[in-house]
Amino acid sequence: MEQGSGFSTSSTHSQFSRAYLARNLILAYQSFGVVYGDLSTSPLYVYSSIFDEKLRKYRTEEVVFGAFSLIFWTCTLIPLLKYVFIVLSADDNGEGGIFALYSLLCRHAKLSLLPNQQAADEELSAYKYGPSSHAVAPSQLKRFLERHKTLRTILLLVVLFGACMVIGDGVLTPAISVLSAISGLQFTEAKLTNGELLLIACAILVGLFALQHCGTHKVAFIFAPIVIIWLLSIFSVGLYNVIHWNPRIICAISPHYIIKFLRVTGKDGWLSLGGVLLAIAGTEAMFADLGHFTALSIRLAFAFVIYPCLVVQYMGQAAFLSKNLDLFPNSFYDSIPEPVFWPVFVIATLAAIVGSQAVITATFSIVKQCHALGCFPRVKVVHTSKHIYGQVYIPEINWILMVFTLSVTIGFQDTRLIGNAYGLACMAVMFTTTFLMALVIVFVWQKSILLAAPFLIFFWSIEAVYLSAAIIKVPEGGWVPLVLSAIFMIVMFVWHYGTRKKYYFDLHNKVSLKWLLGLGPSLGIVRVPGIGLIYSELATGVPAIFSHFVTNLPAFHKVLVFVCVKSVPVPYVSPEERFLIGRVCPRPYRMYRCIVRYGYKDIQKDDGNFENQLMLNIAEFIQMEAEEPQFSSSESSTVDGRMAVISTRSIQSSLSLIVSGHEEVGTSNSIYSSKSATLQSLRSVYEDENPILRRRHVRFQLSPSPSMDPRVREELMDLIQAKDAGVAYIMGHSYVKARRSSSYLKKLVIDIGYSFLRKNCRGPSVALNIPHISLIEVGMIYYV
């Protein structure tokens, strides 16, 4: 029996291992089309960027060998050693990228600048990902950073700078990839002019951006085969060139040739490093796109396919150039044997489009994450894939990127100048990642500073050399990513500054709960049937907007819910943990608080079910409060009570409400449930002006339960009757202005910059998917 049991266990383990390996192999295959499109197309322009006008005077075999040696060791040390073996291990619940590192740091050290954070957020399952921060005593460095807000602000600015450079990549990658791919036409029998090539490139770019709304998933199934065929093509061409032109190129793997290269070329060789770093452009995508795959699948794809193919291709081009020293300007296409030129040209153009697509998608994701941090204006976010969560399309950003990309392409018309800009953007992102990774080693992995310091010094010293070469070329195109970053950084800073000032105004002008308690359960006005959802950014207290209603209106809804939709520093919040429910004022007031939490990669979708979910969560809270004394021990013991996480799983099993309903094609549930003749008459007009959505029209009934507390039964009945009467959404229509005593700079930022962004971005009601016909907005001026 024991032997049989052991055999069964080993067999199950073997099956699990095979299934695990098979899954990762499939993901590795899929990653070629999403992750490696940009990196794999770099052979199109690397050698032509290295051997510019200044370096072409050193036309010797030894210099070519040195250039290849530089490329080989750059690809080995940064993508292979740094990213594949180290950085990919620093995931945040499976997510990667600059924001994942920042999120990890914010959770393991108090570095977050998000304003409305609560202790309850730390109980999220995703929050606890990684080693326990309580295992060791906090280091002096950690305490130092936590104590100084200026340093935490600088850290956020570093992260946003890296994000802006990623957006710069989204502008420059399509320009350099497409221009390089079609440049081969200039050397064919057609002999196209520069103007004709530019026209073709612009047409391809416009088509690429115009198709973004379809989403990557529509054509994803052909992406991976395109990149794999491309990799096989460049590997075969590279191997042919090594054998046919100069097999001695294999010796150039020795770093001795790098020393020779720099000794011969001197300052011009150092400046050429700006071209060498283009060989690793696109490396950051391995980490940024980690959420769609696994670390193992990305490691397998790079180590066993991407790395060997790229090394052999660069080796082959170097072998060809060592015997054809006058063919540097278009070395890639010149090195292709004539019989296979056209097939390789076609697949190169397709691979360039695939690489551009992946970077544009990554840009959308970065902008979405910046918005979650409160650092980017509200924009329309469209979820483009049912199968790949987190793949988004942002129309406004798409067209802005297209305008910038076409401007760069038409303005420069030269891959060398665009390459200078592209190299600076890529190296700035890597430099930022190295810095954040060193902090992760100390704060998240809880390793000694003596371990993080060598990592930081080793990789920063390498990247600093490349970065310095790229910075020198700022006048020759390198200024583009700096200008783009400056534009987006100004937008982010102005929005973040204005949003924080508005939040702190709300925080310091909260309604006194003693004043509310003094008014009594009726609040000194008539309480009419219905539910009023009052939206605010405050996670505690009652917003000032509420006092406007109480003092200026003769009636208000019988059930009031203060709703706060906020972001937390985790990638995703599970639906079971999304809602936090609590009570404001004692039970007779029928006032509740609901905090809805989203991660920085979560998407707020309009599924038409929010009102029903809110009803179920509040009803569950009412029952839980009665059954668990720690929430409330008496009628008046709690004024702004303890919040409780309401799990949808527990609701299904313990709730005393009977839920019945059916799906209807239409709009807000509040329109159907409302007894108002005006709302009913507006129903058809509203349906004509809005997209059709499937919403579940639900009715609630109280199940007969003799053991139920009479007070609980009464409160649940009030809740059901209020829901049947209708739901109104109440928001503040705010006007933010600087005080008269403010400095001129502050007035410029708030009165002009922030006001312009607020007027030209999406309204909060649209971003929160609030049905317009049920919305009540209250004007309010904020003097900050």
Give the distance, in angstroms, between the CA of residue 752 and the centroid of all CA atoms in the same chain.
Answer: 28
Q: How far apart are CA 239 and CA 249, in angstroms?
A: 11
Q: How far apart are CA 187 and CA 469, in angstroms?
A: 30
Going by pLDDT thresholds of 50, 70 and 90, the confidence category of residue 654 is low
Residue with tokens 């103007």: 195
Q: How far apart are CA 128 and CA 123, in angstroms?
A: 7
Q: How far apart are CA 762 and CA 26, in angstroms?
A: 39
Query: Three-class SS string for 723-759?
Result: HHHCEEEEEEEEEEECCCCCCHHHHHHHHHHHHHHHH
pLDDT above 90: residue 8? no
pLDDT at 236 (0 to 100)? 96
* The token pair that represents 34 in the structure block: 């999403």
* The token pair that represents 692 in the structure block: 């059709």
The rounded percent of the chain whose pLDDT value lies above 90 is 32
Q: What is the mean pLDDT of residues 87-93?
A: 89
Task: Let me know: does 348 contact 466? Beta carbons within 8 Å.
Answer: no
Per-residue pLDDT reduced to its tens digit, 303-351:
999 999 999 999 999 999 999 888 877 889 999 998 999 999 999 988 8
Which of 577-581, 660-664, 679-683 has maximum average pLDDT? 577-581
pLDDT above 50: residue 687? no
pLDDT at 697 (0 to 100)? 60
- Looking at the chain, the number of H-run helices and the number of E-run strands are 31, 11
Going by pLDDT thresholds of 50, 70 and 90, the confidence category of residue 355 is confident
Q: Which of 259, 415, 250, 229 is nearest to 316 (CA)?
A: 250
Phi and psi, residue 40, nearest 5°: -75, -20
Q: How far apart are CA 272 and CA 255, in angstroms?
A: 17
Q: How far apart are CA 559 and CA 699, in angstroms?
A: 17
Residue with tokens 């291992």: 17
Angle at CA of residue 560, ends 653 and 562, nearest 5°: 85
The rounded percent of the chain whose pLDDT value lies above 70 is 84
* The token pair that represents 407 in the structure block: 């401007």
Question: Mean pLDDT score of the chain, rounded to an integer?
Answer: 82
pLDDT at 698 (0 to 100)? 64
Q: How far apart are CA 567 and CA 563, in angstroms?
A: 13
Going by pLDDT thresholds of 50, 70 and 90, the confidence category of residue 136 is low
pLDDT at 576 (0 to 100)? 85
Count of Cβ atoms closer than 10 Å to residue 141 Cβ: 14
User: 3-state class of 548 per DSSP?
Assistant: helix
* The token pair that represents 303 in the structure block: 């180590």
Among 42-51, 458-467, 583-592, 657-666, the least confident range = 657-666
pLDDT at 80 (0 to 100)? 94
Going by pLDDT thresholds of 50, 70 and 90, the confidence category of residue 635 is very low
Per-residue pLDDT reduced to its tens digit, 140-178:
787 888 788 888 889 989 999 999 999 998 899 999 989
Going by pLDDT thresholds of 50, 70 and 90, the confidence category of residue 706 is low
Per-residue pLDDT reduced to its tens digit, 642-652:
667 765 544 44
Per-residue pLDDT reduced to its tens digit, 480-509:
999 999 999 999 999 999 998 988 888 888
pLDDT at 215 (0 to 100)? 64
Angle subtended by helix axes 149-182 and 479-508, to nearest 10 = 140
pLDDT at 162 (0 to 100)? 92
Burial (CB count within 10 angstroms: exposed 0-12, middle 13-18, buried 19+), residue 578: buried
Q: How far apart are CA 635 and CA 641, in angstroms?
A: 11
* Residue of higher predicted confidence among 707 and 539: 539
Count of Cβ atoms closer than 10 Å to residue 762 Cβ: 14
Among 215-219, 220-224, 609-613, the least confident range = 215-219
Cα-Cα-Cα-Cα torsion 511, 514, 520, 526, nearest 10 degrees, comes to -10
* Residue of higher predicted confidence among 10 and 682: 10
CA distances, 506 to each of 152, 207, 596 (Å): 23, 46, 19
Per-residue pLDDT reduced to its tens digit, 29-85:
888 888 888 899 999 989 988 987 777 788 889 999 999 999 999 999 999 999 999
Phi and psi, residue 539, nearest 5°: -90, -10
* Residue of higher predicted confidence among 134 and 758: 758
How many residues make up the chain in this entry? 784
**What b/e sequence results for 11-23 when a residue is b if at least 16 CB atoms lie within 10 Å of its CB, and e otherwise?**
eeeeeeeeeeeee
What single-letter amino acid sits at 696? Answer: R
Alpha helices in 41-193 (DSSP H): 46-50, 61-75, 98-108, 140-147, 149-182
pLDDT at 194 (0 to 100)? 81
pLDDT at 389 (0 to 100)? 59
* Residue of higher predicted confidence among 769 and 249: 249
* The token pair that represents 594 in the structure block: 């609901």
pLDDT above 70: residue 107? yes
pLDDT above 50: residue 240? yes
Going by pLDDT thresholds of 50, 70 and 90, the confidence category of residue 656 is low
pLDDT at 33 (0 to 100)? 81
Alpha helices in 211-305 (DSSP H): 220-245, 256-265, 267-271, 273-276, 284-288, 295-301
pLDDT at 485 (0 to 100)? 93
Per-residue pLDDT reduced to its tens digit, 718-745:
888 888 888 899 888 888 899 989 899 9
pLDDT above 80: residue 106? yes
Please, what is the end-to-end C-alpha distance for the chain in angstroms?
Answer: 77
pLDDT at 291 (0 to 100)? 79
Q: How far apart are CA 574 and CA 571, in angstroms?
A: 10
Radius of gyration of the chain (CA): 30
**Alpha-carbon dihedral sign for residues 611, 613, 619, 622:** negative
